[in-house]
Structure 1
Amino acid sequence: MRSVIYEGIHDIQVKDLPVPQANTQDIVVRVMRNGICGSDLHAYNLGGDEIGILKGSQIGHEFVGVVTEVGQSVQGIETGDHVFVNPSLAKGSTSQLAMAGGLSQYNLIQNARLDWNVFKLPSTLSFDRAVVTEPYAVGIHGKNLLNPRAGQKFVIFGAGPVGLASASGLLEQGISDVAVVDIDQQRLAFAKKLGAQVINVQSEDLHTALIRLFGTGHGLMDDDRIGADAYIDCVGLPEYMTDFINWGKFGAKFVVVALGATPVTYKPQFLAMNELSFLGSAIYTAADIKEAIHNITNLDNHFPEIVSAHYPLEQTQAAFERANTDKEAVKVVIDVND
């Protein structure tokens, strides 16, 4: 089989490897589609050690495919099943998430268990739509940590795949007051297509725009603050956190999804006085994955249209360059087998 191997900064190679064979607890998946993720690009540009992508490893973790072999002890999964695989549990350890092997034509899934690390897809669902399940689940997990309810107002920072996923997840569950903040007009246009309200902070003051959309709320000292109930950060800019401390109304929440690396400084007194909350969001649960799959099967849902380009496996290097440099390409996908 052919497999993409990470060899270092700007060095990924397609090599021949043996086709894996399933042990009694495992399955083998013929991978059909794999999306390129921001963490893949981090390794490509800056090195992979700090995010768990090691030299010489098989990479790719946003993948869907068809089961070709099932171990004798595996229950509920059959050859021919169309599946999404939770990459954080594909190789027995969450530390292997980014090296889950989604850019290999055949992938061994260890200790396969239905609705734990393997999730069935409808056979009628195209792989072109299903390939967005992983980033969709990331965004859905971020919003689900907030236990969102109808009537609440949400601000999402970032119109990349995960920010758009959070927005879509909220809108699909019937929450209409969702604003997406970004500087890219094309991506904001897509957010608007999903049904979100949009703010381009290159052309509009953020504070003014949020007051316009959501009105004011109040702090403990009865000072006017932004009327939004919750914020989901899919960008990682420190100013969005400090703005939340300065502007968030009493009881507001802020979910950190983005892997920002810059330290953030704020006065804890305002966090305490207004009972503000910071929540970290990592990967997803089985419930988040099932919600993502359910949403994708709704053909009126535009979120899967984030896929901007397809490349064959042998052109993975070119695909990485496209994802790395073309800001209009929201999600680049490798057709691993076709």
Structure 2
Amino acid sequence: MSNPSLVLNKVDDISYENYESPKIDASNEVIVEVKKTGICGSDIHYYAHGKIGEFVLTKPMVLGHESAGVVVQVGDSVKSLKVGDKVAIEPGIPSRYSDAYKSGHYNLCPHMCFAATPNSKEGEPNPPGTLCKYYKSQEDFLFKLPDHVSLELGAMVEPLTVGVHAARLANLKFGEHVVVFGAGPVGLLTAAVARKFGAASVTVVDIFDNKLQMAKDIGAATHTFNSKSSKPFHEALPSGHQPDVVLECTGAEVCIQQGVLALKPSGRFVQVGNAGSNVLFPITEFATKELTLFGSFRYGYGDYSTSVSILDDNYKDGKENALIDFEALITHRFKWDDAIKAYDTVRAGSGAVKCIIDGPE
């Protein structure tokens, strides 16, 4: 069978290609027919610049890593899934032999095979992305979706899990006060996670009023603050509460600084967004408050299943009774034949929050 795929050849060059469909080689493998895929900011960065940090595009790469689909074939030892099941795809599989994997930090595995992430090693192919008709994964990196969770929502599990990982790193507790910097897709989903974890308040900070309004409209924020306003930041916080937790999703130096300054003593700070370069950091404030700083990279054990559980709980009583309107984040939908247009739309910054592409028919 042919496997239609969307391929990034080099900067500014995306094309449709047909490859051979993947085949099951091991008893724990599963073939998924991809139905829905979201566009991530990292995809756009590779499209525009050809690299992110040490990951440099040197050969063509199938795009996509935010996907959901339907199981079409399973290996002989697969027990938790069957043909016809809807699944969310966790797109990174570590080495089962690495110290990171064995110590419970598989997201830090130096041998991670992560979908649509360039492999610059000469003679080795790039890990395949998920923007194709058929994608092969391993049983324990596929997560069955409840009946009332759509495939579109399944494609949002990946970015939602970034927020889950950050909240779990912070050991976010019921009744705590949270500030989220950044109202892009990851920031909005991270704020939504904080709400679902039981935060007493979630204040979202950004410089665009329309993004802040969306944070409120979908139920992710209890409070918002436009950092361009002349209003002092502390006045935007509920009843003057200093945050227990800051989840920083921009990577902007000023936001990192403001987050440290805003935190209450013994508070926790999680860096989710990537900074473009080194930043000036208020180390004295950090030390005298006895703050705790966490770096956050992708997601680890239990994070994906937690995200699926969040969506399950959110929609179990119907969309009209959901705490968070996750579906409202999907602002653009494209058919497979318009996938390149979808990438250009997001790259142009034309107001897309989350863009979903249908899989090949």
Normalised by the length of structure 1, the TM-score is: 0.88
From the superposition, tell whether residues 9 and 141 of structure 1 become closer, same or farther in structure 2 (CA, over 3 Å). same
Q: Is 1:40 aligned with 2:63?
A: no
Give the SS at the match of 1:30: strand
In 2, Cα distance between the equivalents of 1:130 and 1:85? 8
Q: Is 1:292 aligned with 2:307?
A: yes
1:30 to 30, 33, 40: 33
* Contact 1:63–1:131 (8 Å) recurs in 2: yes
Which consecutive residues of structure 2, in runs of 5 or more, have no partner in the other structure? Answer: 97-110, 118-127
How many angstroms does 1:144 deviate by? 1.7
How many angstroms does 1:194 deviate by? 3.1
In 2, Cα distance between the equivalents of 1:22 and 1:287? 26
From the superposition, tell whether residues 246 and 128 of structure 1 become closer, same or farther in structure 2 (CA, over 3 Å). closer
Q: Is 1:106 aligned with 2:134?
A: yes
Give the SS at the match of 1:244: helix
Give the SS at the match of 1:31: strand
* Contact 1:35–1:332 (8 Å) recurs in 2: yes
Q: Is 1:67 aligned with 2:90?
A: no
Whichever residue aligns with residue 262 of structure 1, its letter is S
How many angstroms does 1:270 deviate by? 2.8
**Correspondence for 1:122:** 146
Q: Is 1:57 aligned with 2:61?
A: yes
From the superposition, tell whether residues 277 and 21 of structure 1 become closer, same or farther in structure 2 (CA, over 3 Å). same
Alignment of 1:125-164 (within 5 A): 125-164=149-188
**Correspondence for 2:112:** 94
Cα deviation per residue 1:139-195 (whole Å; 9 max; x = unaligned)?
A: 121112111122211110011111111111111233231000112222211111233
* Contact 1:296–1:304 (8 Å) recurs in 2: no
From the superposition, tell whether residues 47 and 263 of structure 1 become closer, same or farther in structure 2 (CA, over 3 Å). same
How many angstroms does 1:236 deviate by? 0.7
Cα deviation per residue 1:34-91 (whole Å; 9 max; x = unaligned)?
A: 1000110110111136336552121210000011111223332211111111101289
How many angstroms does 1:247 deviate by? 4.1
**Correspondence for 2:267:** 252
**Correspondence for 1:11:** 13
1:201 to 214, 227, 248: 227
Q: Percent identity?
A: 29
1:241 to 238, 250, 256: 256
* Contact 1:232–1:256 (8 Å) recurs in 2: yes
Whichever residue aligns with residue 166 of structure 2, its letter is G
How many angstroms does 1:269 deviate by? 3.2
How many pairs were matched up?
Answer: 323
Cα deviation per residue 1:269-308 (whole Å; 9 max; x = unaligned)?
A: 3322211222111112342212221222313130232111
Whichever residue aligns with residue 68 of structure 1, its letter is V
In 1, Cα distance between the equivalents of 2:346 and 2:280? 32
In 2, Cα distance between the equivalents of 1:212 and 1:47? 39
From the superposition, tell whether residues 330 and 139 of structure 1 become closer, same or farther in structure 2 (CA, over 3 Å). same
* Contact 2:32–2:73 (8 Å) recurs in 1: yes
Which consecutive residues of structure 1, in runs of 5 or more, have no partner in the other structure? Answer: 217-225
**Correspondence for 1:221:** none
**Correspondence for 1:2:** 4
How many angstroms does 1:312 deviate by? 1.8
Give the SS at the match of 1:55: coil
In 1, Cα distance between the equivalents of 2:42 and 2:5? 18
**Correspondence for 1:334:** 357
Q: Is 1:169 aligned with 2:169?
A: no
* Greater than 6 Å deviation, 4+ residue runs: none
What root-mean-square deviation, in Å, do the aligned CA atoms of Structure 1 and Structure 2 show? 2.1
Give the SS at the match of 1:76: coil
How many angstroms does 1:267 deviate by? 4.8
Give the SS at the match of 2:194: helix
How many angstroms does 1:244 deviate by? 3.4
